[in-house]
């Protein structure tokens, strides 16, 4: 495909930089690998009907008062008064099947809210990366990958995931990238590919979670392609896209 006809895929490192990048894109992919978007993918894969992402603890509490299961995480911990935070395993609870769940997290749900002015918002993680990329390649739209980061700062794990998505789309020969952030993300992602755990050993957020004894969660979030659910935002709720993905690795 001639370069000029190609769609663009670019990586934005932080919600605070979203306004600099958002022009010319029709799809935003929001990523918060540790752990919000991994948990959202796990939940919809395991039967949660829809997830309402909210920015504040107060909003999550309102939904809780209305009788909805509600999850709230701040600084890696479950907020007092809530049943769960953003552990992916909590989102696989069979009792949540068919239910609508409210969720607020330190970074991920904020990034989803910021991206919600985009025509289409989908949720990405390492856990759904192959299905997500297969779907994105079919859309013929410009794609912006928004890393949630940590309190508006750059983080490594989201960058690795974003770079891997950009790489896969460019490999399809239907996308190109212009921004230095995308070049850097691709580069970091390729370098981390061989052993993502050792690559992230020094990362700030992994250290943070390690202190909280969340190694099982980290392991789950950093293992690619355990699910095929692609959550997307519709009327303020995250639901599972209808998309039949035939994964080679999952076949």
| Closest approach of a copy of itself to the CB of residue 22, in Å | 12
Judge contact between 46 and 194, C-beta under 8 A: no
User: 77-78 and 70-74 as β-strands: parallel, antiparallel, unpaired?
Assistant: antiparallel
Taking a C-beta distance cutoff of 8 angstroms, is the pair 171, 190 a contact?
A: no
3-state secondary structure of 33: coil
Q: Minimum distance from CB of 105 to a copy of itself (Å)?
A: 18
Q: Which is nearer to a copy of itself, 49 or 152 (CB)?
A: 152
Tokens of 243: 């998309």
Judged by CB, which is closer to a copy of itself: 36, or 134? 36
Between 77 and 190, CB nearer to a copy of itself: 190
Query: 10 Å Cβ neighbour count for 198?
Result: 9
Residues forming contacts to a copy of itself in the complex (CB under 8 A) are 13-14, 16-17, 20-21, 150-156, 159, 178-181, 183-184, 187-188, 191, 202-205
Min dist. Cβ of residue 169 to a copy of itself (A): 16
Q: Which is nearer to a copy of itself, 191 or 195 (CB)?
A: 191
Instruction: Quote the least distance from Cβ 9 to a copy of itself, whole Å.
Output: 14
d(CA 107, CA 5): 35
Strand partners of residue 143: 9, 27
Helices 156-171 + 180-192 axis angle, to 10: 100
Considering beta carbons, is residue 13 or 25 the nearer one to a copy of itself?
A: 13
Report in angstroms how near the CB of residue 184 gets to a copy of itself at its nearest. Answer: 6
């Amino acid at each position: 495909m001639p370069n000029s006809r190609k769609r663009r895929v670019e990586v934005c490192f932080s919600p605070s930089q979203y306004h600099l990048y958002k022009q010319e894109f029709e799809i935003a992919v929001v990523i918060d690998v540790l752990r919000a978007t991994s948990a959202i993918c796990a939940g919809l894969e395991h039967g949660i009907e829809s997830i309402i992402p909210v920015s504040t603890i107060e909003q999550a509490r309102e939904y809780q008062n209305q009788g909805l299961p509600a999850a709230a995480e701040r600084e890696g911990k479950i907020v007092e008064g809530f049943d769960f935070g953003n552990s992916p395993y909590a989102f696989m609870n069979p009792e949540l099947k068919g239910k609508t769940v409210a969720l607020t997290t330190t970074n991920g749900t904020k990034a989803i809210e910021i991206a919600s002015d985009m025509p289409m918002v989908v949720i990405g993680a390492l856990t759904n990366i192959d299905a997500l990329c297969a779907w994105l390649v079919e859309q013929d739209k410009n794609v912006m990958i928004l890393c949630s980061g940590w309190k508006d700062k750059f983080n490594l794990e989201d960058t690795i995931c974003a770079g891997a998505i950009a790489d896969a789309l460019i490999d399809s020969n239907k996308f190109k990238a212009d921004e230095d952030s995308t070049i850097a993300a691709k580069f970091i992602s390729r370098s981390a590919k061989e052993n993502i755990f050792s690559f992230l050993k020094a990362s700030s957020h992994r250290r943070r979670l390690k202190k909280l004894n969340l190694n099982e969660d980290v392991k789950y979030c950093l293992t690619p392609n355990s699910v095929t659910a692609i959550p997307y935002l519709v009327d303020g709720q995250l639901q599972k896209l209808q998309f039949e993905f035939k994964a080679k690795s999952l076949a």
